[in-house]
Amino acid sequence: MPQSRPLSLITGASAGIGAAFARELAARGHDLVLTARRTERLEALAEELRGKHHCQVTVLPADLADPAAPQQLQQALAERKLAVDWLINNAGYGLPGTFEANAWEDHAAFIQVLMTAPTELAWRVLPGMRERGYGRIVNVASLAGHVPGTAGHTLYGASKAYMIKFSQSLALENRHLGVHVCALCPGFTWSEFHDVTGTRELMNQMPRFMWQTAEDVVREGCDAAERGDIVRVTGRVNRFIKSLVKLMPDRMGLWLSARESRRYRHAAPQ
């Protein structure tokens, strides 16, 4: 069983799905460790949650593009004698444009944040979870990891497919020890994600029924992690899309992907 108040470490907690996880888990009685690059936002969120839910919130600013960040976070937790019960690997962003249009340094940072850092953080907190016989790891993946790749945002779907497969293997290795691992796969979610990537105007062309709120995504994710679901695609529309794509021949799926990329992927070929 977890500590009297489970402790959740949330990456990318300053906005969007990460901030929604912080609010939801605080409401469920968790203490929190919040990490992201934007210290002021983290401190404001921490103050809000302490006042509303009377929980302990520790702010540890970090840039996961720095390869040293996961180990530094682990050291900071150890110094404070904090044991992580829930790890929410949420930090992420999009890198618009085609593969050759971006510098390798940008691709390398992207891979570090979306693949290497969450994998290392799981490796660092897992031994404690196994020893205590309780743990929850939620890897925020995406519907993009289930559907064919797109022209533009070249590494995004690939990174999310990796997180899904990684979660599946990690879940099978640890489920007999009380550790649940879940790949959470939202589709289009209302947040500042598309503002940061400069694709908000394109995204606004998508039908409203395609979108979910971050709060809805997070509630599904928390419930799925508690149940022991290994993969959770959020929202009926997204689950329908995933099922439909699985039934399609690869050639048809890629044709549809190429057609739709022109609508919502920045710098995709016309």
Query: Is 156 noted as a catalytic residue in this protein?
Result: yes
CA distance linking residue 94 with residue 92, whole number of Å: 7
* AA letter at 238: N
Decide: 37 and 62 in contact? Cβ < 8 Å: yes
Mention every residue, 6+ apart, whose C-beta is less than 8 A from residue 195: none
CA distances from 267 to 93, 165, 231 (A): 16, 28, 31
Residue 173 DSSP SS3: helix
Choose among 118, 209, 235: nearest CA to 165: 118
Read off the DSSP letter of residue 72: H
Who contacts 90 (Cβ-Cβ below 8 Å, separation ≥6)?
10, 11, 12, 13, 17, 18, 21, 138, 140
- Tokens encoding 102: 């971006």
Give the residue numbers marked as catalytic.
156
